[in-house]
Amino acid sequence: MDILSAYGLILVILAASVGLLMAWGIGANDVANAMGTSVGAKALTIKQAILVAMVFEFAGAYLAGGEVTSTIRKGIIDSSYFVDSPELLVFGMISALTAAGIWLVIASYRGWPVSTTHSIVGGIVGFAVVGVGMEVVVWGKVGGIVMSWIVTPALAGFLAYAVYMSADKFILSAKDPLKNARRYVPLYMALAGFVLSLVTIKKGLKHVGLDIPDAQGYLLAVAIAVVVAVIGKFMINKVLAESSEHSDVLADENQFSPIEKVFAVLMIITACCMAFAHGSNDVANAIGPLAAVVSVVSNDGEIVKKAALDWWILPLGAFGIVAGLALFGKRVMHTIGHGITKLTPSKGFAAELAAASTVVIASGTGLPISTTQTLVGAVIGVGLARGVAAVNMKTSRTIVISWVVTLPAGAILSVLFFYLLQMIFVV
């Protein structure tokens, strides 16, 4: 308790600094994953992708990021074990943030798309085991999170495969692709609009004082989806009409060009959806441990069950995510956009929509998932739609190895920083 009284402000500043580093790492790695599909499919340039991420990642993190924060902060370890020594919880959360942040910087520099959730969970488990003991970790909760790392990539891959195969059947491989595009693409736009509006209504608005009942929320999301479909139909007719004017007769190979332009427009919508969903889910990896530190210090060492986030914590996390993508996101973006499989706008749309839907579903349950694994699963899913040979297995293996290494790396680094903080502050 004396340590918190004497060094409380220093510890909060230190936690905020490494929390910003962690958010920066999330932006450099995870957000680059989310935007990599759009850049790889040439639907967005890198500058445009950064602009989209700046707006929608910030909105998702700031408006809807509070839901998952409680899980990453309190669900992994039993905080009651730290009641008599709250400074150990503070040291541990700072250590976990430092370890995860540094690992993400290393991984991003190497172009490895790793899991920020793996990093922070490994860091928290690592300090908890050495600081108190094995019993402090809620292994059932950790097991559930580990299961989500398996289930969500598989779910995203299945959804991406299904979305792309449906587009291929009804549009790309149809006898009259242009005619079918006018008929079916508005439905895909409606689905993307529904996903984006639903997460905004159900997660975002209640954090700004508007808690819409479930039934009304779904009806409003459906209404927005219908509006998006109508607007989309007008845009598609315009794009396809302009394309038809330039060529009286289109060969089958070239006939896909105007349709892919339509899917490129769709990718912009799904990129926004993915960015918002990612911001709402993964900001917890940075601000959850930070919020725990601020809560313990501000309550004079008391570990309360539920504490409101200080006003500056969410904006700090949101800013860090955007800065990380803008300054250091190109390497991982290249890996995810070009290294796994060759992406076209139609494939990229299927992957992004599937990944966004999966993240939204998981985020609504309060379970922190790996956005990296979700999106990689979706990209592999659309690659498999064209056969196993369409997937770069060497790159995929490297990505999987980086996933395996991440959790123990976070744990080991966290233990080292935990001991270092004890040496500095405990006299």
Mean pLDDT for the stretch of residues 124-137: 90
* pLDDT reading at 306 higher than 60: yes
- Residue 424's contacts (CB-CB under 8 Å, 6 or more residues apart) are none
Which amino acid does the sequence have at 356?
A: A
Say what the alpha-carbon torsion angle 119, 117, 311, 414 is, to the nearest 10 degrees: -20
* Exposed / middle / buried, residue 312 (Cβ in 10 Å: 0-12, 13-18, 19+): exposed
Q: Give residue limits of the domains in the chain.
A: 2-425
Q: What is the pLDDT of residues 309-362, one digit of tens each?
A: 788 888 898 889 888 888 888 888 888 888 889 888 889 888 888 887 887 677
- Packed helices 313-328 and 284-298: angle between N→C axes, nearest 10 degrees: 150
Mean pLDDT for the stretch of residues 130-153: 81
**Residues 406/108, Cβ–Cβ less than 8 Å:** no
Q: What is the rounded distance in angstroms from the CA atom of residue 117 to the CA atom of residue 17?
A: 19
Q: Residue 210: what are its φ and ψ, rounded to 5°?
A: -115, 105
User: What pLDDT does residue 308 have?
Assistant: 64
* pLDDT reading at 206 higher than 70: no
DSSP 8-state code for residue 341? S
How distant, in Å, are the alpha carbons of 72, 96, 192, 282, 410 from that of 82? 17, 16, 44, 26, 21
User: What pLDDT does residue 22 have?
Assistant: 94
H or E stretch at 7: helix 2-26
SS3 63: helix
Q: What is the rounded distance in angstroms from the CA atom of residue 351 to the CA atom of residue 24?
A: 25
- Give just the sign of the alpha carbon dihedral 168, 159, 192, 348: negative
DSSP 8-state code for residue 367? -
Q: Where are the beta strands (DSSP E) in 187-306?
A: none
* pLDDT reading at 153 higher than 80: yes
Q: What is the pLDDT of residues 381-392, one digit of tens each?
A: 999 988 888 899
Q: What is the rounded distance in angstroms from the CA atom of residue 392 to the CA atom of residue 92?
A: 39
DSSP 8-state code for residue 300? T
Q: What is the pLDDT of residues 36-46, one digit of tens each?
A: 888 888 888 88
User: What pLDDT does residue 158 have?
Assistant: 92
Closest CA to 15 of 78, 68, 87: 87
How much of the chain exceeds pLDDT 70, in percent?
Answer: 86
**Ramachandran class of 133: left when φ > 0, alpha when ψ lies in -120 to 50, beta otherwise:** left
* pLDDT reading at 184 higher than 60: yes
**Residues 259/172, Cβ–Cβ less than 8 Å:** yes
**Residues 355/367, Cβ–Cβ less than 8 Å:** no
* pLDDT reading at 74 higher than 80: no
Rg (CA), the chain: 22
Q: What is the rounded distance in angstroms from the CA atom of residue 358 to the CA atom of residue 274?
A: 10
DSSP-H helix ranges across 65-174: 66-70, 86-110, 116-131, 139-167
Mean pLDDT for the stretch of residues 137-145: 80
Neighbours of 12 (CB within 10 A): 20
Higher pLDDT residue, 182 or 250? 182
Q: What is the rounded distance in angstroms from the CA atom of residue 291 to the CA atom of residue 95?
A: 14
Higher pLDDT residue, 198 or 402? 402
**Residues 132/82, Cβ–Cβ less than 8 Å:** yes
Q: What is the pLDDT of residues 209-256, one digit of tens each?
A: 566 777 887 898 899 999 988 888 887 777 777 766 655 444 444 445
* pLDDT reading at 259 higher than 90: no
